[in-house]
Amino acid sequence: MSILVNKHTRVICQGITGKAGAFHTKGCKDYAPTMVGGVTPGKGGETVEGLPVFDTVAEAVEKTGANASMIFVPAAFTADAILEGVDAGLDVICAITEGVPVLDMVRVYDLVRRSNSVLIGPNCPGVITPGECKIGIMPGYIHRAGKVGIMSRSGTLTYEAVWQTTNLGLGQSTCVGLGGDPIVGTNFIDLFRHYQDDPQTEAILMIGEIGGTAEEEAAAYVKEHINKPVAAFIAGRTAPPGRRMGHAGAIISGGKGTAAEKDAALKDAGIEVADSPADMGQAVARAMARRRK
Amino acid sequence: MKIHEYQAKDLFRKAGVAVLKGRVAATPDEAAVAFSELGGPLAVVKSQIHAGGRGKGTTKENPQQRGVQLVRSADEAKKVAVNLLGKTLVTIQTGPEGKTVNRVFVEEGCKIARELYLGIVLDRAAAKPVLMVSSEGGVEIEKVAAETPQLIHKEHFDPHVGLLPYQVRKLCYKLGITGPSVANAERFMRALCRMYVQLDCSLVEINPLVVTEAGELVALDGKISFDDNALFRHKDLAELRDLSEEDPAEVRASNTGLSYVKLDGTIGCLVNGAGLAMSTMDIIKLHGGEPANFLDVGGGANEQQVTEAFRIILSDPQVKAVLVNIFGGIARCTTIASAIVAASKAVGFKVPLVVRLEGTEVEEGKKILRESGVKLITADDLTDAAKKVVAASN
């Protein structure tokens, strides 16, 4: 078991004929045989990496049985691509594209949330169930099938955590990069629900960062509803207020969204907090040894 | 992207949001002319910098001179402009170094009955923009939010539908705005919310928003920030950017596709990915050092970007050592290693360099560094890297 994606998932790439789309289609295809095609309007009938290209997502779904996609189209067209995926009834849509205008996400957010599709991102590395299915830009080889569900607002910091849990022999059930933007399709709480219900996931690692209140909300949820061991790390305790740290969402504004506030909420919920980014894997191990409830 | 008050008010006027008459001036003579053209018995001369607290702030050159001043003649407008233009204004938001005043805004006066606060921001939790108003205008709104949150009233709105009349009425009754002023508020607030959506704003703030003795709402101040990610569809707004308000190294970085924020420490950081870059700063601090910057070279970093990143980091005279922390994903360690070698030839490292590589093509990357003869300290993991760079900086 795992969450969101597995060896039965059939994935298409929206924007497959672009440079990034083609490159990562190859990466995902080389990792697991779950890539089945792609979409670029006006380029239907072509092939990329031996996979068929279609003009619309609906057609790709009809011809390949696809139920998931990864989006590499330019930022200006990402909201449209997301809704096209929703319209075609995809189960999982990963928007990798960064730089999407935030009001575009406001415009599509309610429609996506009311649909049966799960949107991951935008501005995210994607989703991977080690050994079964990779949708996104993460390096596959650092992962190892195992026990820990990892979710994060960051890309390379997730790789760091994955690598640590791999080296400790814990491995991962499914890793999800939620994305670094102020509004993303899926939040920590959504994934806590999935991880709680997944028998393969024995522990959960949440990697947050400064800005917003998503980690505080997640902590409150964990306190009430999660009985699996949970560890967490918050990036940005040295970030100055009012300055955007790369991610559009990573900013302390009006004195809100500091790492200290988030750490306090996490600890209050009984979550094992890593003080150092080098300690994320060990924090998971400590949480597992300690056991919740 | 932030803009100046006079630019914000121009956009307010175009959107149908009431503002007072005003003229921007870059010289004392222009300020005098502006006063005469406005034709009133008095006017207000306001420093134009990208920071708040101007009314209470003073210039470094003359601690008696505040950033905003009432004047009663063209001569006086000119005199105040002489005291402000080219001078450094220090406010609670600028930090002790202050900001240079390159322009003043000369604005007519009005008869104020009440001062309110109005702000529009994105509410991330609700995934919608929210209009906030408060009866406590003219003061620090963060303080109101912390001490008396019940005095801040909020209405979310959908970008497709906009703010609806009933929502304005709800806010008006809470603020004690009654009679003909309600219709006035409806025009004002709905136009502002429409503008927020049309121009892809990330923040609109009016503090104070005044109700005049005639019962009209007027934006006495104006602050707008735009969503940088949406500027591609607003070429005209992109032209309002004032580069003199920004850190030159940060401008240089953004032109190269790097994300860089200058900090006060002594350890330069070059990292791929925003989360890892923040964490690298954190772990340096944890081991007793102070980061000199945040720098994310991004996923697809090439040799030219990495070289420019080194140039920017090393242009900070405070930097005593540099830590390169790369977890190769899309970015390959070989690319970064070659770039370090090239950069060392082009830039020359006069301070110790600690390099930690992991991920895609790590062994080949380490080999490139070993065989290059570039003098550097290698680290095996994050903690090792942080300890070594802190030691090297001391």
> In degrees rounded to 5, what are phi and psi of residue A89?
80, 25
Which of A70, A154, A238 to mutate: most B Cβ within 10 Å? Answer: A238
State percent of chain B over pLDDT 70. Answer: 99
- Rounded to the nearest 5 percent, the helix, strand and coil shares of chain A are 35, 20, 40
In A, which residues are within 8 Å of B149 by CB distance? none
Element (H, E) at B310: helix B303-314
Distance (Å) from the C-alpha of residue B49 to the closest C-alpha of chain A?
16
Confidence of residue A254 (pLDDT cuts 50, 70, 90): low
Nearest CA in chain B to A244: B261
pLDDT tens across B304-347, in order? Answer: 888 899 999 999 999 999 999 999 877 788 888 998 898 888 88
Element (H, E) at B185: helix B181-198
| B159–A contact, CB cutoff 8 A | yes
Q: CB atoms < 10 A from the CB of B100, how many? A: 14
Which of B91, B124, B142 to mutate: most A Cβ within 10 Å? Answer: B124
Given the residues A24, A143, A194, A247, select the one marked as catalytic. A247
Q: How far is CA A60 from the centre of its chain?
A: 23
pLDDT at B193 over 50: yes
Cβ neighbors of A70 (< 8 A, separation 6 or more) are: A11, A12, A13, A14, A24, A28, A94, A95, A96, A126, A135, A136
| B125–A contact, CB cutoff 8 A | yes
Nearest residue, CB atoms, A103 vs list B230, B280, B329: B230
What is the sign of the dihedral through the CA atoms of B285, B288, B291 and B295?
A: negative
Q: Are strands B22-25 and B99-100 parallel, antiparallel or unpaired?
A: unpaired
- Of B316, B303, B300, B299, the residue nearest B351 (C-alpha): B316
Between vectors from CA A106 to CA B13 and to CA A38, what angle results, nearest 5°? 130
pLDDT, residue B120, reads 96
pLDDT tens across B337-380, in order? Answer: 998 898 888 888 889 999 999 988 889 999 999 999 889 999 98
Distance, CA of A178 to CA of A186 (rounded, Å): 6
What is the sign of the dihedral through the CA atoms of B380, B384, B388 and B390?
A: positive
**Predicted complex ipTM:** 0.90
| B124–A contact, CB cutoff 8 A | yes
CB contact under 8 A, A154 and B276: yes
Give helix then strand counts, H and E, for chain A: 9, 14
**A55-59, B102-106, B165-169, B325-329: least confidently modelled range:** B325-329
Nearest residue, CB atoms, A277 vs list B128, B202, B279: B279
What strands lie across the sheet with B267-271, from one edge to the other? B259-262, B293-296, B267-271, B321-328, B353-359, B377-378
pLDDT tens across A200-237, in order? Answer: 999 999 999 998 889 999 999 999 999 999 999 999 99
Nearest residue, CB atoms, B275 vs list A107, A209, A244: A209
Distance, CA of A87 to CA of A116 (rounded, Å): 10
CB contact under 8 A, A106 and B142: no
Distance, CA of B92 to CA of B51 (rounded, Å): 9
Q: What is the DSSP code (8-state) at residue A117?
A: P
Q: Identify whether the C-beta of residue A141 lies closer than 8 Å to the C-beta of residue A114.
A: no
CB pairs under 8 A between A and B: 171
- The whole-number average pLDDT for the span B275-290 is 95
CA distances from B237 to A150, B1, B6, B227, B233 (A): 40, 9, 14, 11, 9
Please identify every residue of B annotated as catalytic.
117, 205
Average pLDDT, chain B: 93
Radius of gyration for the alpha carbons in chain B, expressed in angstroms and rounded: 25
Distance, CA of A172 to CA of A195 (rounded, Å): 11
Distance, CA of B336 to CA of B309 (rounded, Å): 12
Q: Write the DSSP string, B16-58.
A: T--B--EEEESSHHHHHHHHHHH-SS-EEEEE--S-S-TTT-E
- B105 forms beta bridges with B24, B46
- B155 forms beta bridges with B131
Give B75: exposed, middle or buried? Use CB within 10 Å, 0-12, 13-18, 19+. Answer: exposed
CB contact under 8 A, A217 and B125: yes
Q: Are strands A35-39 and A92-95 parallel, antiparallel or unpaired?
A: unpaired
pLDDT, residue B344, reads 86
Q: String of b and e for A120-156 (b: at least 16 CB within 10 Å)?
A: bbbbbbbbbbbbbbbbbbbbbebbbebbbbbbbbbbb
Q: Identify whether the C-beta of residue A138 lies closer than 8 Å to the C-beta of residue B329.
A: yes
Q: Encoding tokens for residue B118? A: 């109005």
Distance, CA of A271 to CA of A231 (rounded, Å): 5
In A, which residues are within 8 Å of B146 by CB distance? 255
pLDDT at A193 over 60: yes
Which one-letter amino acid corresponds to residue B106? Answer: V
**What contacts 24+ positions apart, CB below 8 Å, involve B175-181?**
B175/B116, B175/B133, B175/B135, B176/B135, B177/B211, B179/B215, B180/B215, B181/B211, B181/B215, B181/B216, B181/B217
pLDDT tens across A262-282, in order? Answer: 999 999 999 999 999 999 999
Distance, CA of B196 to CA of B129 (rounded, Å): 9
Distance, CA of A118 to CA of A279 (rounded, Å): 31
Distance, CA of B47 to CA of B251 (rounded, Å): 23
CB contact under 8 A, B283 and A278: yes
Distance (Å) from the C-alpha of residue B192 to the closest C-alpha of chain A?
16
Q: CB atoms < 10 A from the CB of A10, how many? A: 20
pLDDT at A253 over 80: no
Q: What is the DSSP code (8-state) at residue B389?
A: H
**B26-30, B138-142, B375-379: least confidently modelled range:** B138-142
pLDDT, residue A244, reads 81
Task: Scan residues 252-311 of B and list those with Cβ closer than 8 Å to A.
Answer: 259, 261, 263, 271-286, 291, 294, 296, 299
pLDDT at A293 over 50: no
Q: String of b and e for B324-350 (b: at least 16 CB within 10 Å)?
A: bbbbbbbbbbbbbbbbbbbbbeebebe
CB contact under 8 A, A212 and B286: no
Nearest CA in chain B to A240: B263
| B235–A contact, CB cutoff 8 A | no
- Of B300, B304, B347, B305, the residue nearest B322 (C-alpha): B347
pLDDT at A198 over 50: yes
Q: CB atoms < 10 A from the CB of B388, how many? A: 21
> In degrees rounded to 5, what are phi and psi of residue B284?
-65, -45
CB contact under 8 A, B273 and A154: yes
Give helix then strand counts, H and E, for chain B: 13, 19
Is A194 catalytic? The answer is no
Average pLDDT, chain A: 94
